[in-house]
Amino acid sequence: MTELINPATEEVLRSVDHLDAAAVDDAVRRAQAAQRRWAALAPAERAAALRAFAAVVDAHAGELAALEVANSGHPISSAEWEAGHVRDVLHYYAAGPERLSGKQIPVAGGLDVTFNEPLGVVGVITPWNFPMMIASWGIAPALAAGNAVLVKPAEWTPLTTLRLAELAVEAGFDEDLLQVLPGEGAVVGERFVSHPGVRKVVFTGSTATGRKVMAGAAGHVKRVTLELGGKSANIVFDDCDLELAAATAPAGVFDNAGQDCCARSRILVQRNVFDRFMELLEPAVRRVVVGDPAARDTEMGPLVSAAHRDKVASYVPDDAPVAFRGTAPTGRGFWFPPTVLTPQRTDRAVTDEIFGPVVTVLAFDDEHDAVTLANDTAYGLSGSVWTDDLSRALRVTRAIEAGNLSVNSHSSVRYSTPFGGFKQSGLGRELGPDAPLSFTETKNVFIAIKEAP
Protein backbone atom coordinates (compact mmCIF):
# COMPACT_ATOMS: atom_id res chain seq x y z
CA MET A 1 0.00 0.00 0.00
CA THR A 2 1.17 3.50 -0.63
CA GLU A 3 -0.17 6.89 0.43
CA LEU A 4 -0.63 9.42 -2.34
CA ILE A 5 0.22 13.02 -1.49
CA ASN A 6 -1.15 16.14 -3.16
CA PRO A 7 2.12 17.86 -4.14
CA ALA A 8 0.64 21.36 -3.87
CA THR A 9 -0.71 20.94 -0.32
CA GLU A 10 1.12 17.90 1.10
CA GLU A 11 -2.28 16.48 2.12
CA VAL A 12 -2.83 12.74 1.88
CA LEU A 13 -5.20 12.08 -1.02
CA ARG A 14 -5.81 8.38 -0.50
CA SER A 15 -3.89 5.15 -0.40
CA VAL A 16 -3.59 2.57 -3.14
CA ASP A 17 -2.87 -1.14 -2.65
CA HIS A 18 0.25 -2.44 -4.34
CA LEU A 19 -0.02 -5.76 -6.15
CA ASP A 20 2.45 -8.62 -5.90
CA ALA A 21 3.95 -10.82 -8.63
CA ALA A 22 1.26 -13.49 -8.19
CA ALA A 23 -1.41 -10.89 -8.95
CA VAL A 24 0.46 -10.01 -12.17
CA ASP A 25 0.52 -13.69 -13.15
CA ASP A 26 -3.22 -13.91 -12.60
CA ALA A 27 -3.79 -10.72 -14.62
CA VAL A 28 -1.70 -12.10 -17.51
CA ARG A 29 -3.80 -15.28 -17.59
CA ARG A 30 -7.03 -13.31 -17.73
CA ALA A 31 -5.60 -10.89 -20.29
CA GLN A 32 -4.57 -13.77 -22.56
CA ALA A 33 -8.16 -15.03 -22.67
CA ALA A 34 -9.55 -11.51 -23.20
CA GLN A 35 -7.05 -10.89 -26.01
CA ARG A 36 -8.27 -13.94 -27.93
CA ARG A 37 -11.87 -12.69 -27.67
CA TRP A 38 -10.82 -9.15 -28.70
CA ALA A 39 -8.76 -10.27 -31.69
CA ALA A 40 -11.64 -12.47 -32.87
CA LEU A 41 -13.94 -9.44 -33.24
CA ALA A 42 -14.37 -7.93 -36.68
CA PRO A 43 -12.01 -4.97 -37.27
CA ALA A 44 -14.97 -2.58 -37.46
CA GLU A 45 -16.20 -3.80 -34.07
CA ARG A 46 -12.81 -3.14 -32.47
CA ALA A 47 -12.79 0.30 -34.11
CA ALA A 48 -16.24 1.06 -32.71
CA ALA A 49 -15.15 -0.07 -29.23
CA LEU A 50 -12.15 2.30 -29.31
CA ARG A 51 -14.37 5.17 -30.42
CA ALA A 52 -16.79 4.38 -27.57
CA PHE A 53 -13.86 4.43 -25.13
CA ALA A 54 -12.82 7.84 -26.52
CA ALA A 55 -16.37 9.15 -26.03
CA VAL A 56 -16.48 8.03 -22.39
CA VAL A 57 -13.06 9.62 -21.76
CA ASP A 58 -14.39 12.82 -23.32
CA ALA A 59 -17.44 12.76 -21.05
CA HIS A 60 -15.12 12.41 -18.02
CA ALA A 61 -12.36 14.78 -19.19
CA GLY A 62 -13.05 17.26 -16.39
CA GLU A 63 -12.91 14.55 -13.76
CA LEU A 64 -9.65 13.12 -15.16
CA ALA A 65 -8.11 16.59 -15.25
CA ALA A 66 -9.10 17.29 -11.63
CA LEU A 67 -7.56 13.96 -10.57
CA GLU A 68 -4.28 14.87 -12.29
CA VAL A 69 -4.25 18.28 -10.62
CA ALA A 70 -4.65 16.64 -7.20
CA ASN A 71 -2.32 13.68 -7.73
CA SER A 72 0.42 15.23 -9.89
CA GLY A 73 0.14 18.99 -9.31
CA HIS A 74 -0.34 19.75 -13.01
CA PRO A 75 -1.91 23.16 -13.71
CA ILE A 76 -5.58 22.68 -14.54
CA SER A 77 -5.19 24.09 -18.07
CA SER A 78 -2.47 21.51 -18.80
CA ALA A 79 -4.40 18.66 -17.18
CA GLU A 80 -7.47 19.47 -19.29
CA TRP A 81 -5.32 19.44 -22.41
CA GLU A 82 -3.88 16.06 -21.35
CA ALA A 83 -7.34 14.51 -20.85
CA GLY A 84 -8.38 15.80 -24.29
CA HIS A 85 -5.17 14.37 -25.74
CA VAL A 86 -6.01 10.90 -24.33
CA ARG A 87 -9.40 11.12 -26.05
CA ASP A 88 -7.76 12.19 -29.32
CA VAL A 89 -5.18 9.38 -29.16
CA LEU A 90 -8.00 6.84 -28.76
CA HIS A 91 -9.88 8.38 -31.68
CA TYR A 92 -6.81 8.43 -33.87
CA TYR A 93 -5.97 4.77 -33.26
CA ALA A 94 -9.61 3.72 -33.59
CA ALA A 95 -8.83 3.80 -37.32
CA GLY A 96 -6.09 1.22 -36.76
CA PRO A 97 -8.03 -2.06 -36.74
CA GLU A 98 -9.40 -1.37 -40.22
CA ARG A 99 -6.09 -0.16 -41.67
CA LEU A 100 -3.65 -2.91 -40.69
CA SER A 101 -3.96 -4.24 -44.18
CA GLY A 102 -0.68 -6.07 -44.72
CA LYS A 103 0.76 -6.44 -48.22
CA GLN A 104 0.35 -8.53 -51.31
CA ILE A 105 3.80 -9.20 -52.74
CA PRO A 106 4.38 -10.37 -56.33
CA VAL A 107 6.09 -13.81 -56.39
CA ALA A 108 6.27 -16.72 -58.81
CA GLY A 109 3.92 -19.70 -58.52
CA GLY A 110 1.34 -18.34 -56.13
CA LEU A 111 -0.06 -15.55 -54.02
CA ASP A 112 2.01 -14.02 -51.24
CA VAL A 113 0.39 -11.93 -48.51
CA THR A 114 1.47 -10.56 -45.15
CA PHE A 115 -0.63 -10.33 -42.00
CA ASN A 116 0.00 -8.02 -39.06
CA GLU A 117 -0.71 -10.39 -36.18
CA PRO A 118 -1.18 -9.07 -32.64
CA LEU A 119 1.58 -9.90 -30.16
CA GLY A 120 -0.81 -11.03 -27.42
CA VAL A 121 -0.46 -9.35 -24.02
CA VAL A 122 1.50 -6.09 -23.88
CA GLY A 123 2.86 -4.54 -20.65
CA VAL A 124 3.08 -0.75 -20.42
CA ILE A 125 5.20 0.76 -17.61
CA THR A 126 4.63 4.49 -17.16
CA PRO A 127 6.41 7.31 -15.31
CA TRP A 128 4.93 9.94 -12.99
CA ASN A 129 5.39 13.02 -15.17
CA PHE A 130 2.51 12.64 -17.68
CA PRO A 131 0.62 9.66 -16.28
CA MET A 132 -2.53 9.38 -18.36
CA MET A 133 -1.05 10.73 -21.57
CA ILE A 134 1.88 8.33 -21.70
CA ALA A 135 -0.38 5.42 -20.72
CA SER A 136 -2.63 6.23 -23.70
CA TRP A 137 0.33 6.17 -26.12
CA GLY A 138 0.77 2.47 -25.31
CA ILE A 139 -2.84 1.51 -24.67
CA ALA A 140 -4.48 2.87 -27.84
CA PRO A 141 -2.21 1.53 -30.61
CA ALA A 142 -1.69 -1.79 -28.79
CA LEU A 143 -5.44 -2.34 -28.50
CA ALA A 144 -5.92 -1.19 -32.09
CA ALA A 145 -3.53 -3.92 -33.22
CA GLY A 146 -5.56 -6.58 -31.39
CA ASN A 147 -3.59 -6.92 -28.15
CA ALA A 148 -4.61 -6.94 -24.49
CA VAL A 149 -2.83 -4.36 -22.33
CA LEU A 150 -1.56 -4.36 -18.75
CA VAL A 151 -0.42 -0.99 -17.38
CA LYS A 152 1.79 -0.41 -14.37
CA PRO A 153 1.52 3.25 -13.39
CA ALA A 154 4.26 5.00 -11.43
CA GLU A 155 3.95 4.60 -7.66
CA TRP A 156 3.26 8.30 -6.97
CA THR A 157 0.67 8.96 -9.70
CA PRO A 158 -1.66 6.02 -10.42
CA LEU A 159 -5.06 7.72 -10.11
CA THR A 160 -5.86 8.84 -13.66
CA THR A 161 -4.63 5.55 -15.11
CA LEU A 162 -6.78 3.53 -12.68
CA ARG A 163 -9.73 5.68 -13.71
CA LEU A 164 -9.03 5.08 -17.42
CA ALA A 165 -9.41 1.31 -16.90
CA GLU A 166 -12.78 1.88 -15.20
CA LEU A 167 -13.88 4.14 -18.06
CA ALA A 168 -12.95 1.45 -20.58
CA VAL A 169 -15.30 -0.98 -18.81
CA GLU A 170 -17.99 1.71 -18.76
CA ALA A 171 -17.51 1.99 -22.54
CA GLY A 172 -18.20 -1.73 -22.89
CA PHE A 173 -14.71 -3.26 -22.77
CA ASP A 174 -14.14 -6.70 -21.32
CA GLU A 175 -12.66 -5.93 -17.87
CA ASP A 176 -9.66 -8.18 -18.49
CA LEU A 177 -8.67 -6.52 -21.78
CA LEU A 178 -7.17 -3.36 -20.25
CA GLN A 179 -5.98 -3.86 -16.67
CA VAL A 180 -4.13 -1.32 -14.54
CA LEU A 181 -1.89 -2.94 -11.94
CA PRO A 182 -0.51 -0.51 -9.36
CA GLY A 183 2.66 -1.58 -7.62
CA GLU A 184 6.37 -1.16 -7.25
CA GLY A 185 8.66 -1.10 -10.25
CA ALA A 186 10.82 -3.80 -8.72
CA VAL A 187 7.78 -6.07 -8.26
CA VAL A 188 5.03 -5.44 -10.84
CA GLY A 189 7.30 -3.78 -13.43
CA GLU A 190 9.92 -6.50 -13.18
CA ARG A 191 7.25 -9.20 -13.47
CA PHE A 192 6.09 -7.63 -16.76
CA VAL A 193 9.67 -8.04 -17.95
CA SER A 194 10.21 -11.58 -16.65
CA HIS A 195 6.77 -13.10 -17.45
CA PRO A 196 6.97 -15.05 -20.71
CA GLY A 197 3.28 -14.35 -21.41
CA VAL A 198 3.92 -10.59 -21.67
CA ARG A 199 5.14 -10.36 -25.24
CA LYS A 200 6.25 -6.74 -25.29
CA VAL A 201 7.14 -4.11 -22.69
CA VAL A 202 6.68 -0.44 -23.45
CA PHE A 203 8.69 1.45 -20.88
CA THR A 204 8.88 5.18 -20.26
CA GLY A 205 11.16 6.40 -17.47
CA SER A 206 14.77 6.93 -16.58
CA THR A 207 17.61 5.68 -18.76
CA ALA A 208 19.01 3.67 -15.82
CA THR A 209 15.78 1.71 -15.34
CA GLY A 210 15.29 1.43 -19.11
CA ARG A 211 18.65 -0.34 -19.37
CA LYS A 212 17.49 -2.86 -16.72
CA VAL A 213 14.23 -3.45 -18.60
CA MET A 214 16.10 -4.01 -21.85
CA ALA A 215 18.57 -6.41 -20.20
CA GLY A 216 15.74 -8.36 -18.57
CA ALA A 217 13.76 -8.49 -21.79
CA ALA A 218 16.74 -10.05 -23.58
CA GLY A 219 16.18 -13.26 -21.58
CA HIS A 220 12.96 -13.83 -23.53
CA VAL A 221 13.94 -11.94 -26.68
CA LYS A 222 11.00 -9.81 -25.61
CA ARG A 223 10.10 -6.78 -27.70
CA VAL A 224 10.67 -3.40 -26.07
CA THR A 225 9.93 0.20 -26.82
CA LEU A 226 11.89 2.55 -24.55
CA GLU A 227 11.26 6.26 -24.00
CA LEU A 228 14.01 7.46 -21.67
CA GLY A 229 15.71 10.64 -20.55
CA GLY A 230 16.66 13.81 -22.36
CA LYS A 231 18.84 16.88 -22.09
CA SER A 232 17.66 18.80 -25.09
CA ALA A 233 19.15 21.93 -26.60
CA ASN A 234 17.33 25.11 -27.54
CA ILE A 235 19.72 26.73 -30.05
CA VAL A 236 19.30 30.46 -30.60
CA PHE A 237 21.10 31.92 -33.63
CA ASP A 238 21.72 35.65 -34.04
CA ASP A 239 19.49 35.87 -37.14
CA CYS A 240 16.30 34.73 -35.39
CA ASP A 241 13.39 36.62 -33.90
CA LEU A 242 15.22 37.06 -30.58
CA GLU A 243 12.21 38.54 -28.76
CA LEU A 244 10.10 35.49 -29.63
CA ALA A 245 12.92 33.05 -28.81
CA ALA A 246 13.33 34.62 -25.35
CA ALA A 247 9.60 34.91 -24.69
CA THR A 248 9.00 31.23 -25.45
CA ALA A 249 12.15 29.73 -23.90
CA PRO A 250 10.58 29.49 -20.39
CA ALA A 251 7.63 27.41 -21.64
CA GLY A 252 10.10 25.25 -23.60
CA VAL A 253 11.75 24.12 -20.38
CA PHE A 254 9.47 24.97 -17.44
CA ASP A 255 6.32 23.32 -18.77
CA ASN A 256 5.18 20.72 -16.18
CA ALA A 257 7.78 22.30 -13.85
CA GLY A 258 10.53 20.93 -16.10
CA GLN A 259 9.40 17.36 -15.39
CA ASP A 260 9.36 16.60 -19.07
CA CYS A 261 11.84 14.44 -20.95
CA CYS A 262 11.53 16.89 -23.88
CA ALA A 263 12.39 19.94 -21.76
CA ARG A 264 14.76 22.26 -23.63
CA SER A 265 16.98 22.43 -20.55
CA ARG A 266 20.13 23.67 -22.30
CA ILE A 267 19.71 27.02 -23.99
CA LEU A 268 22.60 27.66 -26.39
CA VAL A 269 22.89 31.26 -27.57
CA GLN A 270 25.17 32.71 -30.25
CA ARG A 271 27.79 34.77 -28.42
CA ASN A 272 27.14 38.09 -30.20
CA VAL A 273 23.49 38.15 -29.00
CA PHE A 274 24.01 36.45 -25.62
CA ASP A 275 23.70 39.58 -23.44
CA ARG A 276 20.65 40.84 -25.32
CA PHE A 277 18.99 37.40 -25.06
CA MET A 278 19.57 37.30 -21.28
CA GLU A 279 18.06 40.80 -20.93
CA LEU A 280 14.95 39.56 -22.75
CA LEU A 281 14.83 36.20 -20.95
CA GLU A 282 14.88 37.64 -17.43
CA PRO A 283 11.42 39.31 -17.50
CA ALA A 284 9.98 36.27 -19.30
CA VAL A 285 11.19 34.00 -16.48
CA ARG A 286 9.96 36.35 -13.77
CA ARG A 287 6.52 36.44 -15.45
CA VAL A 288 5.96 32.65 -15.20
CA VAL A 289 2.94 32.24 -12.92
CA VAL A 290 3.86 29.57 -10.35
CA GLY A 291 1.21 28.57 -7.84
CA ASP A 292 -2.01 26.74 -7.06
CA PRO A 293 -2.44 24.22 -9.88
CA ALA A 294 -6.22 24.44 -9.58
CA ALA A 295 -6.13 28.17 -10.53
CA ARG A 296 -6.85 28.95 -14.19
CA ASP A 297 -3.97 31.39 -14.69
CA THR A 298 -1.32 29.10 -13.18
CA GLU A 299 1.41 28.15 -15.64
CA MET A 300 3.62 26.04 -13.37
CA GLY A 301 2.73 23.91 -10.37
CA PRO A 302 4.85 22.20 -7.72
CA LEU A 303 7.29 19.34 -8.20
CA VAL A 304 5.79 15.89 -7.80
CA SER A 305 7.25 14.95 -4.40
CA ALA A 306 9.53 16.06 -1.57
CA ALA A 307 12.18 13.54 -2.64
CA HIS A 308 12.17 14.87 -6.18
CA ARG A 309 12.36 18.48 -5.01
CA ASP A 310 15.44 17.61 -2.95
CA LYS A 311 17.06 16.06 -6.01
CA VAL A 312 16.33 19.14 -8.15
CA ALA A 313 17.56 21.46 -5.37
CA SER A 314 20.90 19.63 -5.27
CA TYR A 315 21.64 21.19 -8.69
CA VAL A 316 21.34 24.71 -7.26
CA PRO A 317 23.70 24.85 -4.27
CA ASP A 318 24.37 28.19 -2.53
CA ASP A 319 27.31 28.96 -4.79
CA ALA A 320 25.51 28.03 -8.01
CA PRO A 321 25.97 30.49 -10.92
CA VAL A 322 22.36 31.75 -10.77
CA ALA A 323 21.66 34.43 -13.39
CA PHE A 324 18.09 35.05 -12.18
CA ARG A 325 15.07 33.19 -10.84
CA GLY A 326 11.32 33.40 -11.00
CA THR A 327 8.99 33.15 -8.05
CA ALA A 328 7.32 30.26 -6.21
CA PRO A 329 4.97 30.02 -3.23
CA THR A 330 6.46 29.37 0.19
CA GLY A 331 4.89 27.11 2.80
CA ARG A 332 3.35 23.73 2.18
CA GLY A 333 3.83 22.06 -1.19
CA PHE A 334 6.88 20.94 -3.12
CA TRP A 335 7.67 24.30 -4.72
CA PHE A 336 10.75 25.27 -6.67
CA PRO A 337 11.11 28.55 -8.60
CA PRO A 338 12.12 28.67 -12.28
CA THR A 339 15.90 29.01 -12.15
CA VAL A 340 18.39 30.12 -14.81
CA LEU A 341 22.07 29.13 -14.45
CA THR A 342 25.11 30.22 -16.48
CA PRO A 343 27.65 27.50 -15.60
CA GLN A 344 30.75 26.12 -17.32
CA ARG A 345 30.16 23.72 -20.19
CA THR A 346 31.28 20.75 -18.06
CA ASP A 347 29.11 21.50 -15.00
CA ARG A 348 26.81 18.64 -13.96
CA ALA A 349 23.83 21.01 -14.30
CA VAL A 350 24.70 21.11 -18.01
CA THR A 351 25.23 17.37 -18.44
CA ASP A 352 22.67 15.66 -16.12
CA GLU A 353 18.95 15.47 -16.71
CA ILE A 354 17.61 17.54 -13.79
CA PHE A 355 13.90 17.02 -14.54
CA GLY A 356 12.95 20.23 -12.76
CA PRO A 357 12.62 23.97 -13.48
CA VAL A 358 16.34 24.59 -13.88
CA VAL A 359 17.82 25.69 -17.20
CA THR A 360 21.42 26.37 -18.18
CA VAL A 361 22.40 29.01 -20.73
CA LEU A 362 25.68 28.72 -22.61
CA ALA A 363 27.22 30.85 -25.36
CA PHE A 364 28.41 29.33 -28.66
CA ASP A 365 30.59 30.78 -31.41
CA ASP A 366 29.30 29.44 -34.71
CA GLU A 367 27.07 26.80 -36.28
CA HIS A 368 29.67 24.06 -35.88
CA ASP A 369 30.16 24.88 -32.19
CA ALA A 370 26.37 24.90 -31.64
CA VAL A 371 25.88 21.46 -33.20
CA THR A 372 28.89 20.02 -31.33
CA LEU A 373 27.53 21.32 -28.02
CA ALA A 374 23.99 20.12 -28.75
CA ASN A 375 25.27 16.61 -29.52
CA ASP A 376 27.66 16.50 -26.55
CA THR A 377 25.29 14.33 -24.50
CA ALA A 378 24.35 10.68 -24.19
CA TYR A 379 20.73 11.68 -24.81
CA GLY A 380 18.95 12.57 -28.06
CA LEU A 381 15.27 13.17 -27.56
CA SER A 382 14.26 16.62 -28.75
CA GLY A 383 15.49 20.14 -29.40
CA SER A 384 14.73 23.50 -30.97
CA VAL A 385 16.51 25.68 -33.50
CA TRP A 386 15.80 29.40 -33.76
CA THR A 387 16.88 30.96 -37.04
CA ASP A 388 15.29 32.78 -39.97
CA ASP A 389 17.74 31.17 -42.40
CA LEU A 390 15.98 28.16 -43.92
CA SER A 391 19.18 26.51 -45.09
CA ARG A 392 20.72 26.84 -41.65
CA ALA A 393 17.55 25.41 -40.05
CA LEU A 394 17.79 22.37 -42.30
CA ARG A 395 21.56 21.93 -41.88
CA VAL A 396 21.33 22.12 -38.10
CA THR A 397 18.22 19.97 -37.61
CA ARG A 398 19.76 17.28 -39.84
CA ALA A 399 23.01 17.43 -37.87
CA ILE A 400 21.45 17.11 -34.41
CA GLU A 401 21.21 13.54 -33.15
CA ALA A 402 17.70 13.69 -31.69
CA GLY A 403 14.28 12.31 -32.56
CA ASN A 404 12.04 15.37 -32.28
CA LEU A 405 13.15 18.76 -33.45
CA SER A 406 11.29 21.99 -33.96
CA VAL A 407 12.28 25.16 -35.77
CA ASN A 408 11.17 28.51 -34.32
CA SER A 409 8.91 26.70 -31.83
CA HIS A 410 9.11 24.13 -29.05
CA SER A 411 6.55 21.63 -30.19
CA SER A 412 7.39 17.96 -29.95
CA VAL A 413 4.38 15.81 -29.15
CA ARG A 414 1.54 15.41 -31.62
CA TYR A 415 -0.37 12.15 -31.66
CA SER A 416 -0.18 11.99 -35.46
CA THR A 417 3.63 12.24 -35.68
CA PRO A 418 6.29 9.80 -34.44
CA PHE A 419 7.91 10.43 -31.07
CA GLY A 420 11.06 8.90 -29.61
CA GLY A 421 14.75 9.24 -29.04
CA PHE A 422 18.19 8.72 -30.56
CA LYS A 423 21.09 7.31 -28.51
CA GLN A 424 20.30 6.71 -24.81
CA SER A 425 16.96 8.52 -25.04
CA GLY A 426 15.32 5.34 -26.17
CA LEU A 427 14.51 2.68 -28.69
CA GLY A 428 11.59 2.62 -31.12
CA ARG A 429 8.94 5.24 -31.69
CA GLU A 430 5.51 5.88 -30.23
CA LEU A 431 2.57 7.77 -31.76
CA GLY A 432 2.22 8.61 -35.45
CA PRO A 433 0.64 6.49 -38.16
CA ASP A 434 2.93 3.48 -37.70
CA ALA A 435 2.53 2.92 -33.94
CA PRO A 436 0.07 -0.01 -34.25
CA LEU A 437 2.64 -1.88 -36.38
CA SER A 438 5.04 -1.92 -33.43
CA PHE A 439 2.46 -4.03 -31.57
CA THR A 440 2.33 -6.68 -34.30
CA GLU A 441 4.38 -9.48 -35.79
CA THR A 442 4.57 -9.65 -39.56
CA LYS A 443 3.46 -13.04 -40.83
CA ASN A 444 4.13 -14.01 -44.44
CA VAL A 445 1.86 -16.57 -46.13
CA PHE A 446 2.52 -18.05 -49.56
CA ILE A 447 -0.35 -19.85 -51.28
CA ALA A 448 0.68 -22.04 -54.21
CA ILE A 449 -1.41 -21.82 -57.36
CA LYS A 450 -1.79 -25.14 -59.17
CA GLU A 451 -0.98 -25.30 -62.85
CA ALA A 452 -4.01 -25.29 -65.11
CA PRO A 453 -5.07 -28.88 -65.92
- Point out which residues bind ligand ADP (CB under 6 A): 125-127, 152, 154-155, 185-186, 189-190, 193, 205-206, 209, 212-213
How far apart CA 126 and CA 134 sit, in angstroms, is 7
Helix pair 131-144, 43-59: axis angle to 10 deg:
160
CA angle 265, 89, 186 (to 5 degrees): 65
Strand spans (E) along 22-126 = 104-105, 110-118, 121-125
Q: Of 155, 190, 227, 430, which residue is the catalytic one?
A: 227
- For the bound state, the minimum distance from the C-beta of residue 319 to ligand ADP, rounded and expressed in Å, comes to 27
* DSSP 8-state code for residue 412: -
Nearer to ligand ADP, 354 or 435 (CB): 354
- For the bound state, the minimum distance from the C-beta of residue 188 to ligand ADP, rounded and expressed in Å, comes to 8
- For the bound state, the minimum distance from the C-beta of residue 13 to ligand ADP, rounded and expressed in Å, comes to 18
b/e burial code for range 184-196 (CB count within 10 A of at least 16 → b): ebebbbbbbbebe
Nearer to ligand ADP, 204 or 404 (CB): 204
Please enumerate in sequence order all residues whose Cβ is within 8 A of that of 362, keeping only pairs 6 or more positions apart, or say none: 266, 267, 268, 269, 342, 343, 345, 350, 373
Active-site residue 68, yes or no? Answer: no
CA neighbours closer than 13 Å in the CB half-sphere of residue 203 = 31
Nearer to ligand ADP, 228 or 268 (CB): 228
How far apart CA 308 and CA 156 sit, in angstroms, is 11
Nearer to ligand ADP, 101 or 314 (CB): 314
How far apart CA 34 and CA 24 sit, in angstroms, is 15
Nearer to ligand ADP, 15 or 344 (CB): 15
Q: Of 190, 240, 261, 299, which residue is the catalytic one?
A: 261
Amino acid, single-letter form, for residue 288: V
Nearer to ligand ADP, 126 or 384 (CB): 126
**118 to each of 137, 226, 267, 269, how far by Cα in Å?**
17, 19, 43, 47
- For the bound state, the minimum distance from the C-beta of residue 191 to ligand ADP, rounded and expressed in Å, comes to 9
Pair 233, 227: CB distance under 8 Å: no
Going by C-alpha positions, the residue among 138, 153, 179 that lies closest to residue 31 is: 179
Active-site residue 155, yes or no? Answer: no
Nearer to ligand ADP, 204 or 387 (CB): 204
- For the bound state, the minimum distance from the C-beta of residue 228 to ligand ADP, rounded and expressed in Å, comes to 8
How far apart CA 388 and CA 371 sit, in angstroms, is 17
- For the bound state, the minimum distance from the C-beta of residue 152 to ligand ADP, rounded and expressed in Å, comes to 6
**Which residue, judged by CB position, is nearest to ligand ADP in the bound state?**
185
443 pairs with which residues across the strands?
A: 115
- For the bound state, the minimum distance from the C-beta of residue 187 to ligand ADP, rounded and expressed in Å, comes to 9
Secondary structure (3-state) at 319: coil
Please enumerate in sequence order all residues whose Cβ is within 8 A of that of 160, keeping only pairs 6 or more positions apart, or say none: 64, 67, 68, 71, 83, 131, 132, 135
Give the residue numbers annotated as catalytic, written as ranges: 227, 261
